[in-house]
Amino acid sequence: MMEVIHATDLGAGQWQLTVTFTDTPPPPGSRFCGELGQGAIMAARTHELDLLFYANGPQALPSAGQTLDLTQQPNTDWQPPVDANNTVILGKQLGIADAVYTCRLLKTQQQRPALVILQSDKPFPFKAEPSRIMLPGLPSDVIATMPLLEDWKIACRLAREEWQPGCFEGKSEDLLQQWMTDTSQYTAQLVFH
């Protein structure tokens, strides 16, 4: 059981929930599922989690103090990258939360991935902005980024199969393939779904 501290409607059935928990902190990549929908961790603090949450159909936004019956499904396969500076992170759908969580952990270790590519079928759960971090090998019109990662000086680009200004039109793997054609600087890849 988790208690809601704060809830924000991000649109398109996506919420950011800050919840309390009493168990040991869950590992990155864990999912939380229940009747309301499913969520993934974006940030963890002592007894608090920030979740990106996808609601199952039209739902009322949970209110502060509300108790949620969510089952934790840990991801036992997650491991931090060995050489973060040469790692590419792909985050799709709820995997966007996993990508942010991983970047947050790397940032505390004074590391950053070579590139993060986020993909969503829904509108992104944040307002995309033009990136100021230029990367050789990426199409010049693909400049949309997640502001939080930009603030952390982490190169990030957005991909959608439906056209959206500044985003790569297609899958994250296709954008990665285009980038790899012009550069071979990365050695590892983390993919979150």
Q: Where are the domains of the chain?
A: 2-73, 84-192
**How far is residue 153's CA from residue 165's CA, in Å, rounded to a whole number?**
22
Q: What is the β-pairing status of strands 87-92 and 115-119? A: parallel
- What's residue 192's pLDDT? 79
- What's residue 185's pLDDT? 62
Domain 84-192 is of which CATH architecture? 3-Layer(aba) Sandwich (3.40)
* pLDDT tens, position by position, 73-109: 877 667 777 777 778 999 999 999 999 999 998 998 8
Using 70 as the pLDDT threshold, list the residues of the chain that sit under it. 76-77, 182-188, 193
pTM listed for this prediction: 0.90
Q: How many CB atoms lie within 10 A of CB 80?
A: 13
**How far is residue 17's CA from residue 97's CA, in Å, rounded to a whole number?**
12
**How far is residue 63's CA from residue 36's CA, in Å, rounded to a whole number?**
13
- What's residue 81's pLDDT? 73
